[in-house]
């Protein structure tokens, strides 16, 4: 009849020496190396400290009803300018050509965030003017509310050129976030650095309105841009022009600077995993040194009397 293993335990053999001895010095060196070497290896292998982090969030976006529409004609001195913004003087705008504007915001999934903006402009185009291009600047209120709270006034900019005189334009696009640098993610603090309207600046008579706005806009570290999905123009000079814009608001990837606690959570597992490996290696080295009596130490065996 065979025998079966029911229980086992280890026998501890101790090695003792004086505090001021080579054996103690060797043991202290291995302990220090077991702490330092894993950190050095983890750091030199890159990716030890978490310098960048990202997450996905659908922002809360609303149209502020401030806008600027510039329809360039064949004659550059006679553009059609419409807008609801303090940057425009009454002498610049062509109110007789700006018939009306319609705005619709859609929340398809009922989560309290807009999924689509539908904005319609109707323009009256005199028969003696031919539209060559349009630039539309829409002011938006942009908010992030989860990990990195942010509120800013941003823009959706749409440019279209026409080879033949248009009677309408349909534009389909996505609103995207563009970052030059990472967001400084501060706990329970809303970042309002760019919560300033870009359509409320003073304008000199010799300055181009669109150029002035764009120059100030691109100097920001965080902006929004429109990604064109599809655009279609209707040809024909009918005296009226309808511009329809469908702007989707998808989830966006947000880059931010992680906090110290996030960096430690990322670095700690890497360090501990290497500590275990070096601990096993140094234990094998110490076992070889003391078992082979390479250093002077007293061997204490449990079944032998001291």
What is the model's pLDDT at position 171?
Answer: 96
Q: Residue 129 region, left (φ>0) first, then alpha (ψ -120 to 50), else beta?
A: beta
Most confident range (mean pLDDT) of 7-11, 12-16, 148-152 is 148-152
Is 127 in the same domain as 238? yes
Average pLDDT of the residues in 21-48: 89
Are both 62 and 197 inside the same structural domain?
A: yes
* Same-domain status, 63 and 148: yes
**What integer is the mean pLDDT of 276-294?**
91
> Which tokens hold the place of 110?
């009922």
Supply the mean pLDDT for the chain: 87
Between 178 and 7, whose confidence is greater?
Answer: 178
306 part of a folded domain: no
For residues 170 and 132, membership in a common domain is answered with: yes
* 297 — pLDDT class (breaks 50, 70, 90): confident
Residues 100, 195 within the same domain: yes
Q: Does residue 53 contact residue 175 with C-beta atoms inside 8 Å?
A: no
pLDDT tens figures, 20-34: 888 899 999 999 999
The mean per-residue pLDDT over the stretch 116-139 comes to 91
- Whole-number Å distance between alpha carbons of 178 and 59: 13
C-alpha–C-alpha distance, residues 53 and 10, integer Å:
46
Residue 4 falls within a domain, yes or no? no
Q: Are residues 175 and 67 in the same domain?
A: yes
Look at residue 268 and tell me whether its pLDDT is greater than 90.
no
Instruction: With a cut of 80, say whether residue 84 has pLDDT above it.
Output: no
Q: What percent of the chain has pLDDT over 90?
A: 44
* 60 and 206 assigned to the same domain: yes
- Position 205 scores a pLDDT of 52
CB distance 183 to 257 below 8 Å: yes
- Is 68 inside a domain boundary? yes
Domain range for 178 is 55-256
The answer to whether residue 3 is domain-embedded is no
pLDDT band at 48 (very low <50, low <70, confident <90, very high): confident
> For residue 119, what pLDDT is reported?
95
Sequence-separated (6 or more) residues with CB below 8 Å from residue 159: 133, 134, 135, 136
Identify the domain boundary among 240, 256, 272.
Answer: 256
Same domain as 276, residue 250: no
Residue 228 has a pLDDT of 94
Are residues 93 and 81 both part of a single domain? yes
pLDDT over 90 at 281, yes or no: yes
Confirm whether 9 is domain-assigned: no
Say if residues 192 and 265 touch (Cβ distance below 8 Å).
Answer: no
In the predicted model, what is the mean pLDDT of residues 294-303?
A: 84
In this structure, the answer to whether residues 62 and 186 fall within a common structural domain is yes
Report the domain count for the chain: 2
Q: Report pLDDT digits (tens) over 212-267.
A: 888 889 999 999 999 999 999 988 888 889 999 999 999 999 999 888 888 888 88
Tokens of 15: 């090695």
- Beta-strand relationship, 166-179 and 240-248: parallel
Please report the DSSP string for the chain in residue order.
---------PPP-EEE--SSSHHHHHHHHHHHHHHHHHHHHHHHTS--S---EEEEE--EEEEEEEEEEEEEESSTTS-EEEE-STTS-TTT--TTTEEEEEEEEE-SS-SSS--EEEEEEEEE--TT--EEEEEEEEEEEEEE-SSS-EEEEEEEEEEEE-SS-EEEEEEEEEEEEEESS-B---TT--B-TT-S-SS-----TTS-HHHHHHHHHHTSSEEEEEEEEEEEEEE---SEEEEEEEEE---EEEEEPPPHHHHHHHHHHHHHHHHHHHHHHHHHHHHHHHHTTSS--EEE-TTS--
Which of 79-93, 179-193, 196-210 is predicted least confidently? 79-93
Asked if the model's pLDDT at residue 91 lies above 50, the reply is no
pLDDT for position 267: 87
CA angle 166, 172, 178 (to 5 degrees): 120
Question: What is the per-residue burial (b if ≥16 Cβ within 10 Å, else e) of 250-267?
Answer: eebebbbbbeeeebeebb
Residue 7 lies in a domain: no
**Do 251 and 274 belong together in one domain?**
no
Q: What is the pTM of this model?
A: 0.77
What pLDDT score does 99 carry?
77
d(CA 231, CA 134): 13
Residues 268-289, mean pLDDT to the nearest whole number: 91
Does a structural domain hold residue 270?
yes
Query: Considering the domain boundaries, does residue 238 fall inside one?
Result: yes
What pLDDT was estimated at residue 86? 54
Residues 128 and 271 in one domain: no
């Amino acid at each position: 009849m065979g025998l079966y293993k029911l229980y086992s335990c280890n026998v501890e053999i101790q090695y003792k020496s004086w505090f001021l001895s080579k054996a103690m010095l060797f043991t202290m060196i291995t302990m220090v190396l077991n702490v330092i070497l894993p950190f050095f290896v983890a750091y030199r292998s890159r990716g030890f400290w978490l310098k960048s982090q990202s997450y996905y969030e659908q922002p809360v976006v609303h149209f502020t009803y401030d806008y600027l529409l510039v329809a360039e004609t064949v004659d550059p001195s006679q553009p059609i300018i419409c807008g609801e913004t303090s940057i425009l003087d009454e002498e610049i705008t062509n109110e007789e050509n700006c018939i009306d504007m319609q705005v619709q915001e859609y929340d398809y999934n009922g989560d309290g965030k807009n999924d689509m903006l539908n904005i319609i402009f109707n323009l009256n185009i005199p028969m003696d003017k031919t539209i060559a291009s349009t630039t539309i600047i829409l002011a938006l209120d942009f908010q992030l509310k989860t990990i990195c709270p942010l509120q800013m006034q941003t823009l959706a900019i749409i440019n279209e050129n026409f080879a033949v005189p248009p009677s309408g334009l349909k534009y389909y696009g996505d609103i995207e976030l563009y970052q030059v640098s990472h967001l400084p993610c501060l706990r329970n603090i809303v970042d309002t650095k760019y919560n300033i309207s870009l359509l409320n600046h003073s304008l000199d008579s010799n300055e181009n309105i669109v150029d002035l706005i764009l120059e100030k806009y691109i100097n920001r570290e965080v902006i929004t841009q429109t990604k064109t999905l599809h655009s279609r123009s209707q040809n024909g000079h009918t005296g009226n022009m309808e511009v329809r814009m469908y702007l989707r608001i998808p989830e966006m990837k947000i880059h931010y600077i992680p906090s110290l606690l996030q960096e430690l959570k990322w670095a700690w597992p890497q360090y501990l995993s290497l500590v275990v490996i070096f601990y096993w290696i140094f234990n094998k080295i110490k076992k070889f040194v003391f078992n082979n009596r390479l250093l002077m130490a007293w061997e204490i065996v449990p079944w032998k009397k001291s």
